[in-house]
Chains A and B, each alone.
Chain A
């Protein structure tokens, strides 16, 4: 049913007209009504003027998305560098950096903080740090080492006991000379006249030697042969102008015990009789000790021994060398460092030989 328009309901029609809700017949009726009521037409025109146009207001939603990047920019830079960002964050932050030149420059500074190792710096002594393969020691080697250790121990004890007691006396009794000429020590000339005298005597000796050519025998030949080193020795001693002190009683006693082979002794005495000034003297204690071989129980084992302080020192050195070699070998087999050291104790005046490992310690006095 079509509605009728009149002065009491025209506003409703006007609003529908403005909203575009009237159909064609209603629009014709409205136009007829307005022609009859021109005052209301003016009112409709006024209503048409009040039409709000849509404002073009836009909101930058992207700025909302940038807020965490702005406020925590530094953290995002480090997180990106360290790979701590989630995939979405990574994409968004990268986009942010691309749109923000200042931010990008700052991030590039962060990229420069990435340290790179300097491969020129190397540890040079790597070989020193390395270790040798641990060896499995076979039974025979262990037993061998055991035997060696026993021998070493026995040797040490024997050495110590012999050295401490009668080594010097026993050895003196058993002195044996093989080369008598070397052992004859001539008193040095104290002045040049004496030297000339000696030279003259040597000349006489040579002359006499020529005279008895016809009757010379093998014994004399030996004497001449033996006299050669003697001459050299005389020259050396005189040139050096060495002064030989009188030997001590003990040394004299030791010298008296020297037994020369008969042939050499005879020849020697001839020379001595002519020279006269030659005396049997011991040059010095140290020199004597060097030259006098001493026989001990070790000879039974085919080993040599010398009866003097120096010789004892030598023996001790030998013991040290043997011990050092043995200990080094044990260390090598065990793959561990075994220390061997000599310590001198001033109170007891003894030298001690010590070696230590974690599992084994050994110490012996070697005087």
Chain B
């Protein structure tokens, strides 16, 4: 990959990576840092990365950096005994998008990641498996569980409404 292709990659994938990370960790600064780190790693390995596979490389790097961060944060949370946020159904939701955002937050980290890869980036089970170091069956199971959880949450909100 050359510099021109590298810069094209920035234009093509930086937004998607940022969205994906931001939806997962909901921290803009950290999401930006992760995107920067990922492109820094790509630049260091520019000679070894094929432009055809750069998207996968970037998302894999960003995903694993994010997972490391989440693990670190969780250890911190455990140590500090911070209560996990609980979302009440009594909140007012203006639209489906908002409901989905809340529902997304309630998913497990892995379920959220795989379903975001699936819906945001349109990745296949195999591609998600490659990025997340899971096998295809596991990816499928996580996606099915995520869908059921999301549907269950939406259903409960709609019933209340």
Query: A residues bordering B, Cβ < 8 Å?
Result: 74-75, 77-78, 81-82, 84, 106, 109-110, 112-119, 121-123, 125-126, 128-134
Contact = CB atoms under 8 A, between A and B. Distances in A.
21 contacts: A78-B144, A78-B148, A81-B147, A82-B118, A82-B143, A106-B151, A109-B158, A112-B151, A113-B147, A113-B151, A113-B154, A115-B115, A115-B120, A121-B15, A123-B17, A125-B32, A126-B10, A126-B11, A129-B14, A130-B10, A134-B3
Contacts of B154: 109, 112-113
A317 B78 CA distance: 52
Given A123-B15, A132-B3, A109 B32 contact: no
Contacts of A118: 19, 97
Kindly state the interface size class of chain B when it binds its partner. Answer: 35 or more
Nearest to A133: B3
A131 B7 contact: yes
B150 interface: yes
A110 to B, nearest CB: 5
A77 B155 CA distance: 14
Contacts of B3: 131-134
B100 interface: yes
The 5 closest A-B pairs by CB, nearest first: A115-B119, A113-B150, A123-B18, A123-B14, A117-B120
Interface of B: 3-4, 6-7, 10-11, 14-19, 22, 32, 35-36, 39, 43, 96-97, 100, 103-104, 115-116, 118-120, 140, 143-144, 147-148, 150-151, 154-155, 158
A116 B19 contact: no
Contacts of B144: 75, 78
B118 to A, nearest CB: 8
A28 B7 CA distance: 108
Nearest to B145: A78
A113 B100 contact: yes
A128 B10 CA distance: 10
A110 B147 contact: yes
A245 to B, nearest CB: 56
A78 B15 contact: no
Contact of B19 (A74, A78, A110, A121): A121
B155 A117 contact: no
A16 to B, nearest CB: 67
Contacts of A106: 151, 155
Given A123-B14, A129-B10, A117 B19 contact: yes
Question: Among the interface residues B118, B151, B158, which one has the most CB atoms of the partner chain A within 10 A?
Answer: B151
